[in-house]
Amino acid sequence: MTTEQGLLFGLLFFVFVFLIWGRWRYDLVAFVALLVALLTGIVPKEQAFSGFGHPATVIVALVLIISRGLSNSGVIELLARHVVDAGRQKEQTQSIPVINATVIRVNSRRHDYADRHAAKHHHCGISRYGAR
C-alpha cells in the first residue's frame, strides 16, 4: 500500500467515525475531509470541486433540501401518525406489505431514473451494474 492510499483510508476511516458519532453536521465533516485531502495532496487542486458538477451531486442536494422541508413542515410526522394509527387498527402483519410496496415503488423509480441518466451520460464508464 502506498503512502497516498494509507492517507486516503485513514481519512475515510475518520470521516466514517465522525459521521457515525453524529456530533458534527455531515456537510461540515465532508468539507473538512475535502480540505484535509487537498492539504495532504490526495486530491489535486484542479479537481477539488469537480464533483460538484456531476448531476448526481445535484440530485442528492435536492433530496436533502426536500427532506428538510418536509420535516420542517410537519408532513413526515403527519404521514408517520397515519401509518402508526393504521397499524394500530390492523395487525402489524397487514401493514408491512403496504410499507414494503411503497418502498419498492420509490426505489424502482429511483433506479429507473438512474438508468435513464446513465444512458444519457455514459461518459463516466460506470453503471449501477459495474464497469462497462
In the numeric block, which cell numbers belong to residue 116? 435513464
pTM over 0.75: no
Kindly tell me the burial class for residue 70, based on how many C-beta atoms sit within 10 Å of its own C-beta (0-12, 13-18, 19 or more).
middle
Question: Do residues 33 and 8 lie in contact, with contact meaning Cβ atoms separated by under 8 Å?
Answer: no
pLDDT at 131: 47
113-131 burial, b at 16+ Cβ within 10 Å, e below that, comes to eeeeebeeeeeeeeeeeee
- pLDDT-derived band at 132, boundaries 50, 70, 90: very low
**pLDDT over 70 for what percent of the chain?**
74
In the numeric block, which cell numbers belong to residue 37? 485531502
Q: How far apart are CA 89 and CA 46, in angstroms?
A: 58
Which one has a higher pLDDT value, 44 or 113? 44
